[in-house]
Each structure stands twice: as C-alpha cells, then as structure tokens.
Amino acid sequence: MNEVDEENQGWLAVFKIALPLCLSYIPIGLACGILLHSSGFNILLTGLASILVFSGGAQFLIASMLAIHAPLLQVLLMLLFLELRYALLSASLSPFMKKESLGFLVYFASSMNDENYAINYLKFATDKNWNGHKAVMVNHYSMLFWTVSNMIGSTIGNLIHFDVNIVNFTLTALFGYMMVMQVKNWLSIGVAALSGVLSVWLMIVLKSTMGLVIATLIASFVGFLIEHSLEGHKHAFLLRGLHLHRRKGQFTDVKETSDNHED
C-alpha cells in the first residue's frame, strides 16, 4: 500500500496539484515580463528577478516604481512593506515544518510565495502524506512557469510595442484580486477605504510614494485598534462574518485568508 501511495505522490502527482496555479501564472507572467521590459530590464535580468525575487506583486511594483523613476531606497522600502505579508505566510507554515533541517527551511523559504503557499498550506492541513519535499516541488514548478512566462513576456515586449498604461492595469487587477481575498468583514472594508483615501491624499500632499507607506501603517493600525476596542462586544457589526473560528486556533484566520488564493 505504501508503495502505491509513493507512486501516486511522485513528481507527476505533485505537478498535477500545482498545474492550475502554473497555468494561471502564464498570463500574469507574460504581462509582468512586458512591463519589466518597458522599464528597462533585459531578458536575463527579467529571468533573474523572477527566480531571485519570485513575487508577482514585487516585480510589478519594481516595474511601476522604475517607470516613475523612484529612488532605489524608496523602491526597497515599498518592497519591504509589500513582502512583509510573507512573514505571516511562513509563520503559519512553520508548524508543519518542525522536523526539517535549517538548510531545508532556508531553501524552502526562498521559493515560497502567496500562491504556492495557498496550495501547500491546504495540502499540509488535509493530506497526511504531504511533506516538505513535495511542498518544495510545488514551489519549483510554480517558479519554473513564472520565470519562463516572464522571459517570454520580455521577448514579446521587445518585438511588439504595447500601451504601457493598459498592460500596467494587470498590476491593478492583481492587487485588486489580492485585496478582495483579504476582505473578511466590514471592518476590513473600512480599513481598505481609509487606506485608499489616505494614500491618495498623502501622495498628492507629499508628492511621494511615502504617502503609500504612511497610509498603510495608519489604516492597518486603526483597524487593529478598532478590533481591539470591539473585542467582547457581542453585537460588533463590524466584525461580523470574520471571526467564525476566532482564537480557537492561531492559524485559522491565516488559513481562511489564504485558501482563497487558490485557483
């Protein structure tokens, strides 16, 4: 029986699990490659960024910040804020990886992102045979599709001229998708609205993308404060629809958020 299971969980079985994600990376990777090309990256740099950074949001952000000639430090600061969410993802995967070696954890972390996390979290939570080795395979399949799509996009961008504003909307749509997946209750919609208004106002006042960082910090902090002040209120309308499993398990909220990432 074990032998059959082993057979079924081979590379092909893992590939089948990763395939929907890999396919959805193709259009996004192409668009990302086109954008990176338009902001000055050649095909090798695009490929390198896809492997080393391996984050759709981050690569789009790099492209759009380079397009407006933002200084290096500001790009990196924005990236840090964007990538901080990974802390939550990798923290929530950690209970499943307690037996893995230090080297493996470092190796695994380097290829983890939002989408393959969603698959791996679900598999770890539901499939007893799932392990770190298979999880890393999912990461690598998704990285392969992502990188190849980016490099093809870079080539297409080289051959055909695209309206950058149109292709740039891919980024907006991707952020829109990620935002909607984060909405769990009325309070999170309130935080989103506050952040949106604040960021536009602060960016125009400060004439800088720092407005974005400040707006994010203020809005998320306000959300955190409101949630705390509402704690214990039975009729907290703002929190309705969110805390179905509140405090029962520390990873439940994370799971609810991230399950939706799956295609």
Partner 1 sequence: MRTNGDYLLLIILAAIVAFIPRVVPLLYFTKRKIPAWFDEWMKYIPVALFTALIAKDVFVTSTYTFNVDSSAEIISTLLVFLIAARTKSMGVTVVAGLISILIFSYIL
Question: Interaction with partner 1 in 127-146: which residues (CB under 8 A)?
Answer: none
Using CB under 8 A as the binding rule, whether residue 203 contacts partner 1 is answered as yes
What is 127-178 written as a DSSP string? -TT--HHHHHHHHHHHHHHHHHHHHHHHHHHHHS---HHHHHHHHHHHHHHH
Binder among 7, 12, 23, 237 for partner 1 (CB under 8 A): 23
In order of 107, 227, 228, 229, the CA distances from 232 in angstroms are: 42, 10, 9, 8
Least Cβ distance, residue 5 to partner 1 (angstroms): 26
Using an 8 Å Cβ cutoff, are 155 and 173 in contact?
no
What six digits make up the tokens of 81? 């804020």
Binder among 9, 18, 37, 100 for partner 1 (CB under 8 A): 100
Binder among 13, 183, 230, 238 for partner 1 (CB under 8 A): 183
CA–CA gap between residue 62 and residue 56 (Å, rounded): 10
Using CB under 8 A as the binding rule, whether residue 166 contacts partner 1 is answered as yes
Least Cβ distance, residue 95 to partner 1 (angstroms): 8
- Using CB under 8 A, which of the segments 8-16, 62-70, 121-129, 151-159 binds partner 1? 62-70
- Using CB under 8 A, which of the segments 2-10, 54-62, 154-162, 233-241 binds partner 1? 54-62
Using CB under 8 A as the binding rule, whether residue 49 contacts partner 1 is answered as yes
Nearer to partner 1, 10 or 196 (CB): 196
Using an 8 Å Cβ cutoff, are 218 and 191 in contact?
no
Using CB under 8 A as the binding rule, whether residue 220 contacts partner 1 is answered as yes
The kind and range of the H/E element at 92 are helix 85-93
- Using CB under 8 A, which of the segments 10-18, 144-152, 233-241, 243-251 binds partner 1? 243-251
Q: Sort 63 into a burial class: Cβ within 10 Å, 0-12 / 13-18 / 19+.
A: buried
Using CB under 8 A as the binding rule, whether residue 228 contacts partner 1 is answered as yes
Binder among 14, 17, 18, 54 for partner 1 (CB under 8 A): 54
What six digits make up the tokens of 207? 């004439």
Instruction: Count the residues of the shown chain that bind partner 1, applying the rule CB under 8 A.
Output: 110
- Using CB under 8 A, which of the segments 25-33, 121-129, 150-158, 232-240 binds partner 1? 25-33
The kind and range of the H/E element at 232 are none
